[in-house]
A = this chain, B = another copy of it.
């Protein structure tokens, strides 16, 4: 993993002993766990350190303030997102694979990640509308992923009806992430009258993406 840019290194004081590496990890885990239940500003520092089997002082030895922990979480996640995308959308990996199975695999993978980190994703969505630094990081990751998608589309232009692959990749990316963002905001109920299982949601998103691209297979079959 390449080092993040200097400007992004400010959220956490990197610990020097192994012991406090543990403490830091426990704090980060506790934070993610608490985000499953409440939004960040309803999580108190006291509850956080209790959950992380740490103490208030230990917290402030690592982070200049409460907000920095969340910033750090998002920064780490953004970096992971970029590296995961690099690996998952690598050109060679999908050599000779057609668009539909490719997209289906990717959407399934991303959807599963949303389930596994629902709390963090909810908070990121909330923050994006509030905090320019979150927007910056989120848009940076999106930009990176969109460019990777565009490369894959470029090689499969014969399967689709699209001129500008970058713009097509952008929209396809928007559909995927905005629908998942919305689903994850509605914790215990669907956002509308139709309840979809995870695979059904994935299939619906795939169909929307292929449909947007003008992929022939999209219209050949009714919605399952």
Please list the residues of chain A having a beta carbon within 8 angstroms of any beta carbon in chain B.
Answer: 39, 41, 122, 125-126, 128-130, 132, 135, 138-139, 142-143, 146-147, 161-164, 166-168, 170-171, 173-175, 177-179, 181-182, 184-194, 204, 207-208, 210-216, 218-223
In addition to A126-B130, A178-B178, A211-B213, 5 A-B residue pairs with Cβ atoms within 8 Å of each other are A126-B126, A138-B191, A139-B190, A146-B192, A216-B219
Asked if residues B223 and A187 are in contact (CB atoms below 8 Å), the reply is: no
Asked if residues B223 and A168 are in contact (CB atoms below 8 Å), the reply is: yes
Most B Cβ at <10 Å: residue of A132, A143, A187, A223: A223
Residue of B nearest to A145 (CB): B192
Asked if residues B129 and A193 are in contact (CB atoms below 8 Å), the reply is: no
Measured CA separation A205–B162 after assembly (Å): 15
For A194, list chain B residues within 8 Å (CB).
Answer: 146, 166-167, 170-171
**Cβ-defined partner of A223 (8 Å) among B138, B167, B184, B222:** B167
Most B Cβ at <10 Å: residue of A132, A192, A207: A192
